[in-house]
Amino acid sequence: MTEPTLPLVDAAWLADHLDDPRLRIVDATVHLSFDENGAHIASADETYRAEHIPGAVFVDQDAALSRDDTPIRFTPVDSERFAEVLGDAGIGDEDTVVVYDHANGIWATRLWWHLGYEGFDRVKVLDGGLAAWKAAGLSTESGEVRLPAATFTARRRPDRVVSTTEVEAAIDDDGVLLVNALAPEDFARGHIPGSVNVPFASLVQENGTLKDAGALREIFAAAGALDPAVRPVTYCGGGIAATAAAFALLAAGRGDVAIYDGSMTEWTADPSRPLEIPDPRMGGE
């Protein structure tokens, strides 16, 4: 099949390739909501069964691809388990995967990142997700798709993530730029010292599709993230929106981005770690 340069495809491209026997479509949605009691996470299995892109399988990133023996939600499972889950979903080494979600794209980029973390690069993100598919007048289906099991080989790339220890060192390292992908109000409540704020919501258009490369370069250049003398490390609250920022940085020309997967959840777990809070009197960050 004809491959786009950036790992991003639109609804028309996907519709044209639905019959490709080596194409695998994955609904990567996780339901995340907030109220006065904090964040709430729920499986999107029922949402998937109610409506999905024809031929799509569902991969539960919370229940199936996250460890359950750590307090940090969405900590990736080991490579062996990852390969088992993807293989059971019918995804093999020679397949091309298109991921999408029902929300704002961050769950699709999370699975895009996780696949890349495990050494698999034949993965694309559907620009605008299910909403863009439906806006194009394309049909959906209900029920569950089950594909024959396949062999998926995981080859982890440790350089795609940084640890808390490395982030602590990065605070005083001019060669690393910490990019916080949370909303400005969340950034203002406290962030890792030296961070710049590039909210993931600023990287997409009103319809949820990614801004063009020129606009993204302008945003990231203003933040200093395109400086060849630094390596960007993205983070957020729990490592999800950080992957959207990493994907947008790739679109802007940076292929060397790392993720601080524990993000603010792990950073603030130890109250001795420093937080930077802008002084509102200074009209700060």
Which residues are annotated as catalytic?
A: 236
Contact (Cβ atoms closer than 8 angstroms) between residue 157 and residue 76: no
Q: What is the DSSP letter of 167?
A: H
Phi, psi angles (nearest 5°) of residue 199:
-60, 135
Cα–Cα distance measured from residue 222 to residue 256, given in angstroms and rounded to the nearest whole number:
18
Q: What is the CA radius of gyration of the chain?
A: 19
Query: Three-class SS of residue 32?
Result: strand
Residue 112 CA to residue 163 CA, distance in Å, equals 20
Q: Find tokens 């060849």 and name the residue.
A: 228
Q: Check residue 242 and report its DSSP letter.
A: H
Q: Is the CB of residue 61 less than 8 Å from the CB of residue 107?
A: yes
Contacts of 193 (CB under 8 A, 6+ apart): 171, 274, 275, 276
